[in-house]
A and B are shown apart, each in its own frame.
Chain A
Amino acid sequence: MSLPSFAQGIHPPTAKQLTAAKPIRRFPFAPYLVILLSQHIGQPAKPVVRQGEEVQRGQLIAEAQGFLSVPMHAPATGRVTRIGKALDMSGRMAQAVMIEPYPAAEQEFPERQGTDPLQCSAAELLQLVQNSGMVGLGGAAFPTHVKIQASLDKGVETLIVNGCECEPYLTCDHRVMLEYPAEVILGIRILLKSLSIDRALIAIEENKADAAAVLRAAIEPDWPIEVQLLQTKYPQGAEKLLTQALLGREIPAGKLPADIGVMVSNVATLMEIARLIPRGQGIIERVVTLSGEGLGKPGNYLVPIGTPLDFILDRVGLEAEQPRVIFGGPLMGKPVACLQTPTTKGVTGILVLKGPPPDHPRPAPSPCILCGDCLRVCPLQLNPSMLGRLAQRSLYEEMAHEYHLRDCFECGCCAYVCPARIPLVQLFQAAKTNLRKLG
C-alpha cells in the first residue's frame, strides 16, 4: 500500500544530500548583530534598551506591542551600538537594534527562574510562549501564542506535528528530529497536556525515515503520539495539505486548521518550546540550513538571530560569480536583494544558487499554450493558467471571485512546471496586492 499524501503536487529534485548528513554546529558570533524589530506577522516590537547600554545574552531588548506581536531578546552579551534603521531582506529600511557582542564574553545564558511546563495551565503556557518570543519556525513566523489562543478558542483534538520539510535543499528540521528527539517529544507533550489535546500525529516524509525511527524510539507507549510516514511530495508540509493527507479532511476556504479541530506546529518550534520554556528563556538562535551549489561549506548551523548575511556567506565560502541568494527553500523562499540584511526567526535556510534564474535566456515568456500542466499539479485544484491570463489583463476581481485567487498560498508548483515559464506566482502576488489596494 502506498503512503498517504495529498492530491497532485510535484516531485522536484530534493537536493538534500548536500546537507542531510551534516550535524548541527554552532555558528560564530558576527562582529555586529542586527535584530530587526518586525520579523513576525503583526506589530513590530518596541525597544526597551538604550544606545550604549550593555545587554546580557537572552535579555529582553524589545517588548511585544499588543497581542499579535512578540518580544525580542539579545542574541549575545555585548553593547547596544545603535537603535535605528537597517536593511531588511527585500532591501527596505526597517527599525532594528544593533548589538556588538563582547569578543571575550562567555556568552552564557544567565540563570533564570524556570517553570515546569508539564504542570502549567493553558493560560500560563500562553504567557510563557509569548514571553519567549516564539514564532512558527517553519518559515511563516506566525506568533506561536496566537496559534495557541486560536486553538484554545476553538477546541482542538489533534496536534499535527509538521516534520515534512518538503522544500528541496532544506534539512534543518531533519537534523532537529535526529539530534533533538527528546526535546521534540517533550514539546509535543507540553502542548498536549496544557491545551488538553487528545493526540498528536508527527508527519514525516518517506525520505526521512531515519528521523521517524528516532522519534518513534523516544515515545513512551502510553503517550498518545504517533509517527506517520507520508509520500515525499511537494508541498506536503503546507497545513491545508497535511490535514488532507493525515486526516482525509480539508480546511474549508478562509478557515483555520483550528476550525476543524486541528493545530499544526513545526518540529523545530516544538523543540524550541521544550528547550526554552523550562528555563524561562527567549528565542535567540535557530537552526538554519546553509546550502546550494554556490556555497563552499554547506551544512546545518545554530545561527544567532540577527547575524548579517555577508558574515555568514564569508564564513561558508561564497563560490558563485553572480549568485541567487534566497532566504528559505527554492520554491517558496524569498530572494535577498542585499547581503547586509540579517537573519530573522523565520529564516529556515540560506540558499546560494549558481547561475541565472530559470527564465533568464528568454527575453520574454512564451504565451500560455494551455497545456494544462499547472492544473495537474496545483494542490488546491485551482486553474493557474486562467488566473495567469486574467492577471495579465488586470482582471483581479474576476480572479478572486471566479477562480479563488485568495486560496492560493503561492507554493509555486504551477510556475515550476510551466513550459512557457510564465511567472505565475509573481502575477498572483501582484494581483493580491492590487486587490488589497482596491479594498
Chain B
Amino acid sequence: MKQPDYLKVHLKAAPHIHSGREVEGIMRRVVYALLPVALFAVAKYGLSALALLAVCILGSLGTEYWILSRRDPQASFGGDGSALLTGLLLALTLPAGLPLWMALVGSIIAILLGKQAFGGLGQNPFNPALVGRVFLQTAFPQAMTSWHPAWAAERFDKLFGSSLTLPLLSPEYDGLSGATPLGLSKFEGLSTELGALLLDQTAGSIGEGSPLLLLLGGLYLVCKRDLDWRIPSAILASLFLFSTTVHLLDPSGAPSPGFMLISGGLLLGAIYMATDMVSSPVTPGAVWSYGIFIGLLVATIRLWGGMPEGVAFAILLANSLVPLLNRAFPPRVYGYRQGGRDG
C-alpha cells in the first residue's frame, strides 16, 4: 500500500456552501434604512436630537459591552449591531427635548431588562427599544409628552434647555410647541392636513418626523429581504379597516382612517419595531394574526384609551403572545394533513 500523505483537509458536515447572509448584515441594513430618518430628525430638531441619538446609542452599546464581558471575559465584543440598533430605535421614539439623563436610563433599561435579562440576542420576548420607551413613558410621563417646536431657528446653536437637566431633576420647559397631531385630534377634536403630515409631522417623537422616509426605508429592507412585509401590511390593513368602520359609524367623533395610518409612531412601530425578528412570530398564520392583533390594539387604544398614542403598548402586548401564536398556527408540513400531527 502507498504511504498515506498528510495533505490537510477541512472537514465539516454538509452543506458546504452558504448564501452569504449574515446577522451583522441584517442589522447593518436596518441601520442604513433608518439613517435618513435620523438625519431628518437632526435637521428638524438640531443638536438636541443629535445628542439624544448619541446618548441612546452609547448607552446601549456600553450596557451590552458590560454584560457581555461579565458573562464571558474571554469573549471579544464582536458587535453584531443589535445593541446599536436598539439604541437608535429607542432614540427615535423620544421627544427632542427629553433630558439626556432620562434617555441614558432608558437605553440602559432597554438592554438590561429588555434583552440581557432574558439571555441576550435571540432570547428576548419583547422588543428591547420599546421596553426602554415604555419604561420612560411610565416613569416620566410629563417629559415624554412635552414637545419642542421643530425647525427652531437656533436649533444648531445650542441644546434645548430641558436636554441638559441634571440627573434626578425634572426638566423646566420654555417655549413648548402644541400637542402632537394625535393629541390635537384626541383631546381637542382638531384634525391636521394629511399631505403635510406625510412629509413632516408638526410635533412628536424625533423619528416620527417623516412618514415618507420611514416608508422608503421599509421598502429598501423588503427588497433586501430583511423585513417581513406581512407584518406592517397586516397592521396597517387591520387598523385601516377597523378605523374606517368606526369613522363611518361616527364621522364627527372618530378621526379619519388616513390620519390614523400616517400619524404618530404607527409607521415607525409597524415597519421597524413590530418586525423585530427576535420578538415577532415565524409561522405564516402566526405572522398574519400578530399583525392584525397589533392593528386592532392600536386602534382601540387610540380611539377609546386614555392616551393619544398606543403603538408601543400594542406591540409589546402582541410580543407576549408570540410563542403562543407560533404554536397555535404551525405550518402544514409536507405529507401531513392540515394541523395533523401524524400522517
Contacts and interface: CB of A to CB of B under 8 A. Distances in A.
Interface stretch (B2-10, B165-173, B177-185, B199-207): B2-10
A12 B19 CA distance: 7
B283 A375 contact: yes
A8 to B, nearest CB: 10
Nearest to A379: B334
Contact of B331 (A253, A358, A366, A381): A381
A370 B14 contact: no
Given A335-B16, A379-B334, A407-B334, A322 B10 contact: yes
A407 B333 CA distance: 9
Contacts of B280: 370
Interface in A261-319: 308, 310, 318
B122 A368 contact: yes
Interface in A371-426: 371-373, 375, 379-383, 385-386, 401-402, 404, 407, 410, 412, 415-421, 423, 425-426
Interface string B115-132: 000001111000000000
Main secondary structure of the interface of A (DSSP, over half): loop
Contacts of B120: 367
Interface residues of A, number: 71
Contacts of B16: 324, 326, 330-331, 333, 335, 351, 353, 357-358
Interface in B8-28: 8-19, 21-23, 25-26
Contacts of A340: 2, 4
Interface stretch (B32-40, B246-254, B335-343): B335-343
A335 B12 CA distance: 6
Interface stretch (A43-51, A52-60, A154-162, A244-252): A244-252
A332 B15 contact: yes
A337 B11 contact: yes
Nearest to B228: A372
B149 interface: no
Contacts of B26: 369, 371, 419
Contacts, number: 168
A331 B10 contact: no
A384 B18 CA distance: 16
Contacts of B10: 322-324, 335, 356-357, 360
A429 interface: yes
A4 interface: no
A108 to B, nearest CB: 28
A410 B41 CA distance: 48
Contacts of B7: 318, 322-323, 339
A334 interface: yes
B330 interface: yes
Please provide the 9 A-B residue pairs with the shortest distance between their CB atoms, ordered closest to farther. Answer: A412-B15, A358-B18, A367-B122, A253-B335, A380-B334, A253-B343, A372-B282, A357-B12, A426-B13
Given A10-B19, A330-B15, A370-B282, 12 more contacts: A240-B335, A253-B342, A331-B17, A340-B2, A369-B82, A369-B122, A370-B122, A375-B283, A379-B334, A382-B333, A416-B17, A423-B13
Interface of A: 10, 12, 32, 168, 240, 244, 250-255, 308, 310, 318, 322-326, 330-340, 351, 353, 356-360, 366-373, 375, 379-383, 385-386, 401-402, 404, 407, 410, 412, 415-421, 423, 425-426, 429
7 contacts: A322-B7, A333-B14, A357-B10, A370-B277, A372-B282, A379-B334, A412-B14
